[in-house]
Amino acid sequence: MLRCVVPDVVTNQDLLTLPATATVEEAARRMTERRVRSVLVVEDERLIGIFTGTDLIERVVATGVNARVTCIGEVMSADPQTIGPDVPAIEALRMMQACGFRHLPVLHEGRLVAVLSRRDFAREEEQELEREERLWEEM
């Protein structure tokens, strides 16, 4: 069965969004409270970046940046790739795999509607991707 990103993979998310001026400490605290691993960075309701747990580790902790004074706009992944809500789930997973993403924002007509996480996918998409990779290796 071909599943689409929305509503088959994600529905009714309460997205964690912050402005680029929010501090890393605030973002990390909010991520912990909400039990999520990404913050969607917005300006005038437009997605301008994404700040993830990986960004926190690699761009803040590992480099000794002060989380109390550093804004997420300085350490976020700017202009992230996005996907539409009607894209087949396997295509979204392929994109995430190929680009090394763990999170992928979903936009509909320019508006942020969801964020995909690798853990959102059903085992069927993961198995299909593994099958495709084996076929490519055999060629």
User: Is 56 or 125 the better-scoring residue by pLDDT?
Assistant: 56
Model pLDDT for residues 88-131, shown as the tens digit of each residue: 988 998 899 899 999 999 999 999 999 998 888 766 676 777 77
pTM of the model: 0.84
Other residues' Cβ atoms within 10 Å of the Cβ of residue 22: 17
Look up residue 57 and give its two tokens: 């580790």
Among 41, 10, 63, 112, CA closest to 30: 41
Model pLDDT for residues 2-43, shown as the tens digit of each residue: 778 888 888 888 999 999 999 999 999 999 999 999 999 999
> For residues 131 and 41, what is the distance between their CA atoms, to the nearest angstrom?
35
pLDDT at 133 over 90: no
Report domain 15-80's class: alpha beta
Does 81-139 match 15-80 at the fold level? yes
Give domain 81-139's CATH number out of 3.10.580.10, 1.10.150.120, 3.40.640.10, 3.40.50.1000. 3.10.580.10
